Amino acid sequence: MKKQTNLGWKQSVQSFFHPRVVTMLFLGFSAGIPILLIFSSLSLWLREAGVERSTVTFFSWAALGYSFKFVWAPLVDRMPIPYLTRIFGRRRSWILASQAGVIIAILWMACTDPASGSHQLTIMAIAAVMLGFSSATQDIVIDAYRIESAGTDLQGLMASSYIAGYRIAMLVAGAGALFLAEYFGSSKGNYSFSAWQNSYYIMAAFMLVGVATVIMIPEPEIKLSEEKKYPPKDYLGFLLLFFLAAGGFITTFYFSADVAASLKKTLGALLGNRYLSGFIIELGRLATGVGVAAIIAKIIMSAGFVNKTMVVDSYIGPVADFFKRYGVLAAWLLLALIGLYRISDIVLGVISNVFYQDLGFTKTEIASVVKTFGLFMTIAGGFLGGILSMRYGVMKILFAGAILSSLTNLLFMAMTGSQPDITILYLVISADNLAAGLASAAFVAFLSSLTSIRFTAIQYAIFSSLMTLIPKGFGGYSGTIVDNLGYSTFFLITALMGLPVLVLIWLCWKYLDQ
C-alpha cells in the first residue's frame, strides 16, 4: 500500500488556496447536485405523489450508473468529442458534455408529473436513469481531471476540497430541494406538482456553477506521447462496441420483465417466499443481460469491427495489474470488502427519508436536522476519521468504522413506533453521521492506497463502482422489506449486514500485513 506524506500546518493552510484546490471545490459542487435528486428528494416527491413505498425505493436503481461507470470509463478516457474536444481539450469537453446531460435530465424530470399515471412514472424513471448515467460520467472525468491537473502533493487537499463541495451540493439538492418544494406549496397530503417542478428547475440552474468553472479552468497538461494512439476508425469501433453491447443489455432486461413476473410467482410458490424469489429472478435477469452484452461484444470483436488490442488495453490491463500486485486470493478478498463495506449505510439510506416522514417529521424538520445538521456531523466525522487514520493506521479505523456503522443502525430501532421527538432525531443523526463520516474517510484512504499510478482513473472507477453495486441492489428492496417485516426488523437486518464486513477487513488486514 502507498505511504502517506505529511505536510506542515503552514504549508497545508497555504495549499488550500492553490487554484487547483479551489477548482475542485466548484467541481465537487457540480458532482454533488444530481445524486440526491435521484435518491432522497425524488423519494419524497414520489411519496407525496401517491406512489407506493416499494415502487419509490425501486427508483434507487436509477443510480446504478454510479456502480457500472467502470464499463464506459475507458470509452470516456479515449474517445474525443467532435468540436468540443478541439476547443476545450479531452477532459473539459467530456465534463461539459456530462454536465449538459445532467441539466437536460433534471429539466426532463421537472416536466414529468409522477401522479399522472404509470406512463408518466415510466418517463420519470427514464429521466432518472439518464441523470444517473450523466452524473456518473461527470464523476469519471472529474476524477481523471483531478489526478492529471496536479502532482501527488496536492492530491489529498484536492480530494478534501472536492468532498467539501460535494457535501455542500448535497445540502443544496437535499435540504434545499425539500425547503423549496414546501415553500412552493407541496406537503404530505397536499401534493403540488408545480412546487416540485419549480424546485427541480432551480436545481438545474445550480449546475451552471460547474459549467462556468469548466469554461474558466485550463486543460490538464498530460503527456499524450506516453499513451497509445489509435486511428479514428478504432475509436468509432470502440463506440460501436459499447452502444451495441449496452443496447443488448437494456433490451434483454426490458423485454424479460413479463417472463420474470411469471417466474417470480412460480418460484415464490415453490419456495414459499415471494420476496426471496423476486431477488433470485432479478439477479438472473441482471446476469442474463450481462451475458447477452458479452456475447454481442464477442461477435463484434470476432468480426473485426473493433481493435482487440485497444479493448484489451482498456479493460484487461487495469484488472490484470491489480491481480498481479496483490495475488489472486488477496485481490478477491479486497474486491469483496470494497463491494460490501458500505452496505449497512446505503441500504438504510435508501428509505431513511421515508422513515422520518412516516414517523411524522415534517420536510422542514428533515431538511434542518437530517440534511443540514447531519452534513456538519458527516464532515466532522470525516476529519476525525482522517486524523485517526494517520495516527493509528487505515485498517484499524476501517474496522472501527464498520463496527460503528452497524451499531448506529440499531439506534433507528429505538425510534420506531414512537412519537416524533426532535431531540432523539438529533442524537441519532449525530451518532449515525459521525460514524459514516469516519468510515468514509478511512475507506477513501483505503481505496486510494489500492490504486496503481499507471491505471489510477480506471481502477478508481472500478473500485467506486463496486463500492455501491451490491448495496444499491439490496436497497431497491428496502421498501418491500419494510412493508412486510416492519421498520424495526429492517434496521436489525441492516445492522447484521455489517458482520461479514468485519471478517473481510480482518482477512484483508492479515494479507496486507497492516
Q: How far is CA 300 from CA 230, 295, 306, 405, in A?
A: 18, 9, 7, 45
Question: What does the mean pLDDT of the chain come to?
Answer: 80
Q: What is the average pLDDT across 386-409?
A: 81
| Rounded Cα–Cα distance for residues 267 and 5 (Å) | 55
Q: Give the distance from CA 245 to its chain's centroid.
A: 23
Closest CA to 471 of 324, 382, 332, 339: 339
| Rounded Cα–Cα distance for residues 244 and 325 (Å) | 33
Q: Which residue has the cell 463484434?
A: 300
Predicted pLDDT of residue 152: 55
| Rounded Cα–Cα distance for residues 197 and 203 (Å) | 10
What's the number of domains the chain is made of? 3
One domain for residues 127 and 272: no
Q: Using the 3D structure, point to which of 198, 225, 252 is the last residue of a domain.
A: 225
C-alpha cell at 462: 472500478
Q: Using one digit for the tens of pLDDT, what is the confidence trace for 463-508?
A: 877 887 777 767 666 777 777 777 888 888 888 888 899 999 999 8
pTM: 0.71
- The answer on pLDDT for 5 being more than 60 is no
Predicted pLDDT of residue 9: 46
One domain for residues 91 and 34: yes
- 3-class DSSP state of 132: helix
Q: How far is CA 210 from CA 165, 196, 207, 312, in A?
A: 11, 23, 6, 34
One domain for residues 429 and 491: yes
Q: Using one digit for the tens of pLDDT, what is the confidence trace for 257-269?
A: 778 778 878 877 7
Q: Using the 3D structure, point to which of 306, 325, 347 is the last residue of a domain.
A: 306
The answer to whether residue 3 sits within a structural domain is: no
Predicted pLDDT of residue 6: 47
Give the percent of the chain with pLDDT over 90: 15
Q: Using the 3D structure, point to which of 190, 225, 260 is the last residue of a domain.
A: 225
One domain for residues 156 and 286: no
The answer to whether residue 2 sits within a structural domain is: no
Predicted pLDDT of residue 155: 60
One domain for residues 49 and 65: yes
| DSSP string for residues in 399-417 | HHHHHHHHHHHHHHHHHTT
The answer to whether residue 4 sits within a structural domain is: no
- Give the torsion sign (CA, 321, 325, 326, 328): positive
Q: Give the distance from CA 269 to its chain's centroid.
A: 35
pLDDT band at residue 295 under the 50/70/90 scheme: very high
Predicted pLDDT of residue 234: 78
One domain for residues 363 and 386: yes
pLDDT band at residue 31 under the 50/70/90 scheme: very high
One domain for residues 295 and 320: no
Q: Using one digit for the tens of pLDDT, what is the confidence trace for 339-365?
A: 888 888 888 877 787 888 878 887 778
The answer to whether residue 5 sits within a structural domain is: no
User: In CATH, what number is assigned to the domain containing residue 23?
Assistant: 1.20.1250.20
C-alpha cell at 322: 491489480
| Rounded Cα–Cα distance for residues 361 and 419 (Å) | 9
One domain for residues 240 and 346: no
One domain for residues 85 and 25: yes
Neighbouring CB atoms inside 10 A of 502's CB total 13
One domain for residues 67 and 137: yes
| Rounded Cα–Cα distance for residues 155 and 184 (Å) | 41
C-alpha cell at 73: 470509463
Q: Where are the alpha helices (DSSP H) in 207-342?
A: 208-216, 232-255, 257-271, 274-302, 308-311, 317-326, 328-340
| Rounded Cα–Cα distance for residues 128 and 114 (Å) | 12
Domain span including residue 301: 231-306
One domain for residues 220 and 238: no
